[in-house]
Structure 1
Amino acid sequence: MSAPGDVPPEILDRVRPICLRLPETYEESAWVGTRWRIRKRTFAHVLTVDPDRQVAHARAAEVDQPACLLIFRSPPDEIAGLLGSGHPFYKPQWGPTVMGMVLTGDTDWEEVAELLTESYLMLAPKRLAALVGLPAPPAG
């Protein structure tokens, strides 16, 4: 990785097509890592945290070594279920619908596609949300 927060290319190669298949989304560099937005609203953000640099993220995710994190929105009625399943999910305290997930070699990418689609649907205008069907299986 070339800079703090940079995400491994293999993770970006998995998250990018999930996000960019959704209507009118775009990708941009975030304050650290990469984020995907609908209009001006961020529905997905990936970053690699260094516990010495991004203390709040590392503390929220309960990681003590560098880790790749996915931040997304989740409907309030689903947050308890995600948290109840434990790792890799965690609840950052900077928003009532903000959720986090530690990405690892065992990540279920079909689940990620569903979570990111739901996150998008929470923030997208109704006209665009109506265009979204069920998530397509991720490639690779």
Structure 2
Amino acid sequence: MPPSPLDHLRAICLDLPEAEERETWERPTFRVRDKIFAMFRPTEERPAFWCKAPPGSQAVLIGADPSRFFRPPYVGPRGWIGTWLDGDCDWDEVNTLVRRSYGLIAPRKLVRQIEERRSL
């Protein structure tokens, strides 16, 4: 049986330094030092995740592919992006989005650990 969308997302998120999973609002959230960088959200019976995005990214991603990206409720006005995880999900892209979100929230010291890992 293939891994579920949550299992895929969990593996990506928990590979990051000091990342932890915590249930909040009855849904899995992924945090670094108590700050959320990704949330698993099955919306309208479809699995999705939300993450922080750099300024302007939300409009660009939704404009480029509104069938995959959306403006999530609650955090969307602050620039977060929603991504559907069903169908032909691009897990490399999800990985990039998660790491970018983590980089916007995590302390610089932890972000440097990721950069150092990549250079090895």
Aligned-residue offset at 1:102 = 1.6
Counterparts of 2:82 and 2:8, CA distance in 1: 17
Counterparts of 2:57 and 2:25, CA distance in 1: 28
Counterparts of 2:84 and 2:26, CA distance in 1: 16
Aligned-residue offset at 1:105 = 2.2
Indicate the residue corresponding to 2:52 in structure 1. Answer: 73
Indicate whether 1:47 and 2:41 are aligned: yes
Counterparts of 2:57 and 2:41, CA distance in 1: 23
Q: Which runs of 5+ in 2 are unaligned?
A: none
SS at match of 2:40: strand
Amino acid at match of 1:127: K
Indicate the residue corresponding to 1:25 in structure 2. Answer: 19
Is the contact made by 1:32 and 1:47 (CA closer than 8 Å) also made in structure 2? no
Indicate the residue corresponding to 1:119 in structure 2. Answer: 101
Counterparts of 2:110 and 2:14, CA distance in 1: 13
Aligned-residue offset at 1:103 = 1.4
Counterparts of 1:35 and 1:120, CA distance in 2: 12
Pairwise CA RMSD = 2.1
Indicate whether 1:13 and 2:7 are aligned: yes
Indicate the residue corresponding to 1:84 in structure 2. Answer: 63
Counterparts of 1:87 and 1:133, CA distance in 2: 32
Instruction: Pick one of 101, 121, 132 that aligns with 2:83.
Output: 101
TM-score with structure 2 setting the length: 0.83
Aligned pairs, number: 113
Counterparts of 1:99 and 1:32, CA distance in 2: 20
The one-character-per-residue Cα deviations of 1:6-51 (angstroms, maximum 9, x if unpaired) are xxx61122111110111100011121221110011111111223xx
Indicate the residue corresponding to 2:30 in structure 1. Answer: 36
- Sequence identity percentage: 33
Which stretches of structure 1, 4 residues or longer, exceed 6 Å deviation after superposition? none
